[in-house]
Amino acid sequence: MTTFVLLSKVSAERVKQVKNLAEMDKVFEQKVKEQCPEVQRVASYALLGAYDFLHIFEAPDALAAAKVALLANEFGPGSTQTLTAIPFADFTKLVEEIF
């Protein structure tokens, strides 16, 4: 499984829905379980900065990660960015192989 990071920014229009955040998160979690049973959420955080939320999840490939991002976008206007997260130990091994 590959680790992915999903960053999301809430639009000004969507900020009005933040009071329903807990319910929206439950619906999102249920949709991911139903439509992406192979995906495992690792953690979720509210952020201070350029993005409002961060979700860390494991998925078998980029297509499954894209599906999670599309499901997140169903909750209204905003923007998301999905990144692949490489464990630092694996990355340092890669650097050692190259140099």
Q: Residue 38: exposed, middle, or buried by beta-carbon count in 10 A (0-12, 13-18, 19+)? A: exposed
pTM, 2 dp: 0.86
Is residue 64 within 8 Å of 1, Cβ to Cβ?
Answer: no
Which residues span the domain enclosing 8?
2-98
CATH of the domain at 21: 3.30.70.920
At residue 16, the pLDDT reads: 67
Which whole number is the average pLDDT over 71-94? 90
In the three-class reduction of DSSP (H, G, I as helix; E, B as strand; rest coil), residue 67 is classed as helix
At 13-47, the pLDDT tens digits run 766 666 777 888 898 999 999 999 999 999 999 99
At residue 85, the pLDDT reads: 97
At 6-18, the pLDDT tens digits run 999 887 776 666 6
**What is the number of structural domains in the chain?**
1
